Structure formats: C-alpha cells, structure tokens
Amino acid sequence: MPYCLETALYVPCRRSFWTQGLQGILPFLFMHQHKSTSQQKLKKTGLRRTKALLATLEFFEANVAPVTVGMILEHLHGQGILANKTTIYRQLEQLKNHEIILEIDFGDLQKRYELACDDHHHHVICTQCGDILDVKLSNELFTEEVRIAKETGFVIERHALEFFGRCPTCQD
C-alpha cells in the first residue's frame, strides 16, 4: 500500500483510506460521497442519461483505479448493454469536457480514465502486473510548482507525475 506523506496514512485509493478500526466503514462513506458528486455533476450537464452513460458512470464509481475503454466495454456487455467503442469514446469525451472524469496517459499508448475529484493525487504503477494505486504527495510539490512558474514566467495549467516500480507482490 502506498504511504501518504501528507497525512501519514497508508492510502490505497483516493476514494477510500484505511485506518485501524474503520476498515469497513470509510471506503463506503467515501465512495457514496463521490457517487453523489458525480451524479450531481451529470445532472447539471444536460447530457442524455442513457443506460450506457449511467452504467459507465457507475463503473467509474465502483473502481478505485483508472480504467480503459476496453474495461468499460467489458462491463457494459456484462450488464447486457450493447455499446460500441465509438459510443464509449464520445461519452468519455463529453464527461471529460464537463470535468466529471479525467483522462490519464501513463505513456504506454493506452489512455485511462478516472472520476475527477477535489483532492489532487498521483499514481504509482507496477511495471510487472500493471496494478495502479493513487498516492498523495506533500504540499512541497505545490511550492515547487509556484517556484517554477515564477522562475519561468509560465502560467502552470497542469502537471503530470507518476511513479513506476514493482508492487510488494511482484517483488517476491
């Protein structure tokens, strides 16, 4: 499990974290809160609430790691919802434009997507099994971002920082 430098907790994902004695309750509370937020955002968009769109959003809410289009299609087909790649890409583009999801590129030519959330986080990716975990960094990163902006004169719009290595299981 990744270690959150900011809160000194082990953090398996952005929507849930484990502390002693609260393992069963916290993940449910955070997923429920995240679900409410994404559903509220969807209502404000004016997008048609099709079965495929709602099932896609529910799939995002149920997953703690970024997902691929293939994973979404597999989930939809498993629920008996017939959708093609073009439809999924169009929906993802709409959700991205309305800031409900984020597109993530780990440099492996396979885009992934996850729900947009208020807490800024990064990822640690296992180069052997492909497991992906969310991690938070200390506020020093944001201090560096401000310093870089001042030194270069750039207006920083975003940054990408991912960590690659082998997870505890793959180290054995």
User: What is the distance, to the nearest Å, from the Cα of residue 85 to the centroid of all Cα atoms in its chain?
Assistant: 20
| Structure tokens, 69 | 């289009």
Each of the 172 residues of the chain gets a pLDDT tens digit; together they read: 333 333 333 333 333 332 233 333 333 333 434 445 667 777 778 788 889 999 999 898 888 788 999 999 999 999 999 999 999 999 999 999 998 898 988 877 789 998 887 677 777 888 888 888 878 777 788 888 899 999 999 998 877 788 889 999 999 8
List of domains in the chain: 7-117 (1.10.10.10), 120-172 (3.30.1490.190)
Query: Are 95 and 54 a contacting pair, CB within 8 Å?
Result: no
Strands 101-105 and 3-4: unpaired
Residue-wise over 79-114: b if at least 16 C-beta within 10 A, else e? eebebeeebbeebbebbeeeebbeebebeeeeebbb
Q: What is the pTM of this model?
A: 0.62
